[in-house]
Amino acid sequence: MAIDPESPLDKLWQEYGRVFHDFDDLTLARWLAQTLGQLKGRAWRLSHPLLGAYRLAAQIAHDRQIWLQRLATPPPAYTEAACCRAPLLPLLTRDVLESGLVCQHCSATAVPLEEIPAELQSSLKSWAEEYAPVHAVAHWEDRQRKSVGDYDRAYENAARETERLLAQAGAQIAPKFLDFYPAIVWEDQDECMEVRPEDIPL
C-alpha cells in the first residue's frame, strides 16, 4: 500500500518526530546508541512504541548522516549495515523473498535473501511462499472475486490466515534470527488485510 504523505496518520508521525529534530547531532547519536543496547536480545514487534520512537530517530539520523560522523559508539554486538553503514537492525516482512531484511535506518535492503544464514532460509522461504497467495486475496481483480462466489467470506478467511502467519513469524521465525543478529524486528500487521497488531497475540 502506498504511503500518503498528507494522510492524517503520517502527519501525526511527523509530529512525533519533531522531538528528535530538536536534538543536536551528539545527543541524537547517544540516544540511538543507548536505545540499541535496550533492543539487544529480543525479537521486536514493528508496532512496539520503543521501535516507533527508534525508527523516527533513525530516519532523522540517516538524513543527517549521524553514523558516518562516528559521534557515538553503538553496542559492539551490532555490525555495520552494508546499505548505509548504520548499525544493522533488520526488519522481517512478508516481502522477504524480494526485499530481504529491511534496514530500519534507510529502508533499503540490509540483508539480501541469499545472504540470510542458510539455517534460516528454508523455513523463511516456506513461510513467505505460504503468505503470498493469502495476501494476494486483498488485491484480486473483479474476475477473481466473482469466481469464488462469496468474496467477503474468502477475504475473511484470508484475514484469519494472515493473523496465523504473522503470529508464526513473531513466535517461531523471528526469534531464530537472534542466533545471528543482536536484535530483529518483525512486521506485525497487514493493512491490506485489515490485520492490526492487536489481532496478533503471541
- Strand, coil or helix: 82: coil
User: Residue 127 is placed in which grid cell?
Assistant: 513461510
Give the pLDDT score at 4: 55
pLDDT tens digit string along 119-141? 999 999 999 999 999 999 999 99
pLDDT at 66: 95
The residue that leads in pLDDT, 9 or 76, is 76
Residue 6: the pLDDT is 72
CB 89 within 8 Å of CB 177? no
Burial class (CB in 10 A: 0-12, 13-18, 19+), 102: buried
pLDDT in tens, 172-181: 999 999 999 9
CA distance 161 to 68: 42
pTM (2 d.p.)? 0.91
Question: What does the pLDDT look like over 149-180, one tens digit per residue?
Answer: 899 999 999 999 999 999 999 999 999 999 99
Burial of 81 (0-12, 13-18, 19+ CB in 10 A): buried
Give the pLDDT of residue 9.
78
